[in-house]
Amino acid sequence: MIDTLFKNKYQTRSIRLKGWDYSANGKYFVTICTKNRQLFFGNIKNKTMHLSKIGTIASQYWQDISKHCPNVKLYEFIIMPNHVHGIIEIANRVETQNFASLHDGYKNKFGPQSKNLSSIIRGFKIGVKKWATMHNENFQWQSSFYDHIIRNDESLDQIRQYIIDNPMQWEFDRNNPDVNGCKPHNAPRITQNEQGTHHAKRTTQNGNE
């Protein structure tokens, strides 16, 4: 069961694999959580994810990663109420990240970054956080992120299916406040015209749907 890979994923210490070169070619299953697992990104209704405004931004910015990092390929991903799951492949080398021309004309340009997985995730997280600050959205990420190195096609296929099925498994998810007793984020109520239905995105090898 893929979920067992993340039994300790809420530890604050670094959980990168020691000795592994995260700038090397490889595929990674990444999980990024909101602070205290607050439900910033929307809600699950009838086993379908309904995105809040910032959830929609997170989805958009995730899909933009490969535009700004040409040697990064994206596979399935899902924005859940309080976390993001996604598969990233680093092919050859990662160029300097440049998250430019983002939402509403906002320019978010980064200087040289370490050429590794952490720099890609850092750019994504900073982009979403800066959008939230500019639009007076109360939003915070949990520090760091969690990764699993995908070593073969069988593991890749299992993780892809896990991501696709994630909204349907929300009632059993350790991130679900109703399961863990966590208090949901006290955000303004999401109205129908501020949210959208979100399904896990299927991508091809070149990162396109």
Rounded CA gap, 187 and 200, in Å? 24
Percent of the chain with pLDDT over 90: 53
The whole-model pTM stands at: 0.71
Dihedral of alpha carbons 190, 79, 120, 7, sign: positive
The confidence band for 121, taking pLDDT boundaries of 50, 70 and 90, is very high
Specify the CATH number for 2-6+22-184; select among 3.50.50.60, 3.40.50.1110, 3.30.70.1290, 1.10.15.40. 3.30.70.1290
Question: How many Å apart are CA 43 and CA 51, to the nearest integer?
Answer: 7
CA 103, 69, 150 angle in degrees (round to 5)?
A: 115
Confidence of residue 51 (pLDDT cuts 50, 70, 90): very high
Q: Where are the domains of the chain?
A: 2-6+22-184
Highest mean pLDDT among 49-58, 107-116, 143-152, 181-190: 49-58
Q: Give the pLDDT score at 177.
A: 84
- pLDDT digit string (tens) for 14-31? 456 666 677 888 999 999
Average pLDDT in the 93-108 region? 41
The answer to whether the CB of 49 falls within 8 A of the CB of 79 is: yes
Specify the pLDDT at position 122. 93
Pick the range with the lowest mean pLDDT from 82-86, 91-95, 138-142.
91-95
Residues constituting the chain: 209
Which residues, including other chains, have CB under 8 Å from residue 22's CB and lie 6 or more apart? 16, 28, 90, 116, 117, 118
Q: What is the pLDDT of residue 203?
A: 46
Model confidence pLDDT, tens digit, residues 59-81: 999 999 998 888 899 999 999 99
Token readout for 89 is 């492949």
Band the pLDDT of 107: cuts 50, 70, 90.
very low
Tokens representing residue 15 in the block: 């959980």
- Predicted pLDDT at 9: 39
User: Cβ(139)–Cβ(36) under 8 Å?
Assistant: no
Question: What pLDDT does residue 64 have?
Answer: 95
